[in-house]
Amino acid sequence: MLKTSGQMGGRPMGIFQVICAAAIIAEAVFVPSMAGAADPLRRAQPEEVGMSSDRLARLGEVLGEDVEAGRIPGAVILVMRHGKIAYFEAFGLENTRNGAAMPKDSIFRIYSMTKPVVSVAVMMLWEEGRFDIDDPIAKYLPDLKDLKVAVVHKGADGTSNVELEQAKRQPTIQQLLEHTGGLTNGILPKSPDYPVRQMYRDANIPNPDETLAELVAKIGRLPLVSEPGTVWEYSRSTDVLGRLVEVVSGMPIDRFLETRIFAPLGMKDTGFWVSGEKVDRLAEPFANDPEPGSPVPLIEVTKPPKLLSGNGGLVSTAEDYTRFTQMLVNHGSFDGVSILGPETVKYMTSDQIGTVRGPLYIPGPGYGFGLGFAVRLSVGQAPYPGSEGDYSWGGSAGTVFWVDPKEDLTAVFMTQRFGAFVHYGRLIRTLVYQSIVH
């Protein structure tokens, strides 16, 4: 029941939170499916799936306050447990320029949440026997053969000299999925110990006016940042893997994803661009961000792009991406459609890198890395709750997801605020896990 004292969970409520709370209560009374009786994403009262309605309402309180305080323009969050929707709400504005409210089907630039999708595409082809995962990538992309490693030698006077040495082993498909293949990313912080990062910047990687094939050819002319298999370095490797999908399948990456993943899973609003009739549902960041200076440029998604980036080019909705994550929860299948085999999902979401780390190990304490996902190694160490074996990733414009097989849980959070994924990745996890009561 809505508390008439203007309090919920012991915290004062503004009018925004009161409205949101009333909407949640209304949906608990009348619980329709999202797209008709046959739709596999069906809503349940939280208590039916072992979660607390009162505790889940804290999500609305906190996100509503953050919208009112100008921390984010708006957000959508969808939480599923035991195959049913426990929470699905939208907050704030979709577009601060015109004041449009955020709908639940708003379309977001998901940036690096593209990587798990393309990684799944790679493993679909692997399941078909198209390649050995330990094959050198150059076997299929000859632009990447005979790569050198940039080795930094420091003199007694503190100066650095960079020499190119032949790599002892060429990067494999598996290492690219792990981000241990020796590639890098020009967006990463500069470091005199890793001069290849600056080389990527100087080469204008990525260039939206080039094709995926041209991007891979350019990467092949640059040295590796480290010996393959020795350092975890966040990189353009999933762009390279996207090109691998094109070469092996004989289809452009956008067509492969649409025909083999998006259409079968019912991901009707996911792709590399937003068609004309859907542009009004495109979520935008602040017109004037109170904390500008993001190193990531806003990608143009209102027309077909030349660069179909496997690294970060997709747009999606909370519902669409939940269809993808629920497929993973279900061990590779969703609504009668098999995308991957159960053993492949288990393999992808197991730690692959052991003790391999780098100077900028993004997964952080308590996490290893699988084939396209950060993988939790233990309940402790990480500064937020979770289960051993949960896996996740986020996007630079504020999108986050995770899958917890032990809790039969998946959550997708979408906003458009650069850099917000770190804070909200932790916050949303805390608020979701505290709502689990059995």
Distance CA 95, CA 285 (A): 7
Q: What confidence tens digit (pLDDT) does each residue in 383-413 have? A: 999 999 999 999 999 999 999 999 999 999 9
Tokens, residue 278: 């859907």
Task: Select from 192, 202, 209 the least CA-distant residue to 359.
Answer: 192
Contacts of 167 (CB under 8 A, 6+ apart): 147, 148, 149, 182, 224, 227, 228
Calculate the CA 193 to chain-centre distance. Answer: 28
At residue 297, the pLDDT reads: 67
State the amino acid at position 210 in one-letter form. E
At residue 294, the pLDDT reads: 54
Report in angstroms the alpha-carbon separations of 271 from 141, 145, 259, 261: 24, 31, 11, 11
Tokens, residue 144: 């990447």
Tokens 């004037």 sit at which residue?
288
Provide φ and ψ at 413, rounded to 5°. -120, 130
At residue 287, the pLDDT reads: 82
Tokens 């996100």 sit at which residue?
63
Tokens 């661009």 sit at which residue?
273
Note whether 256 and 249 are within 8 A (CB): yes
CA-based end-to-end distance of the chain:
22
Contacts of 250 (CB under 8 A, 6+ apart): none
Tokens 């730690």 sit at which residue?
351
Contacts of 158 (CB under 8 A, 6+ apart): none
pLDDT along the chain (438 residues), means of 10: 34 40 37 49 96 97 96 97 98 95 98 98 98 98 96 80 93 98 89 89 95 98 96 97 98 98 98 95 85 67 96 98 98 97 98 93 95 96 94 95 97 93 93 97
Tokens 């650069």 sit at which residue?
418
Q: What confidence tens digit (pLDDT) does each residue in 14-28 have? A: 434 433 443 433 343
Report in angstroms the alpha-carbon separations of 83 from 249, 316, 334: 32, 20, 10
Distance CA 65, CA 377 (A): 33
At residue 291, the pLDDT reads: 62
Helices (runs of H) and strands (runs of E) counted in the chain: 12, 17
At residue 40, the pLDDT reads: 83
Three-class DSSP category at 220: helix
Domains (ranges, CATH) in the chain? Answer: 109-421 (3.40.710.10)
Distance CA 392, CA 376 (A): 9
At residue 24, the pLDDT reads: 38
Q: Cα angle vertex 102, ends 96, 106, to 5°?
A: 110
At residue 344, the pLDDT reads: 98
The DSSP bridge partners found for residue 403 are 391, 410
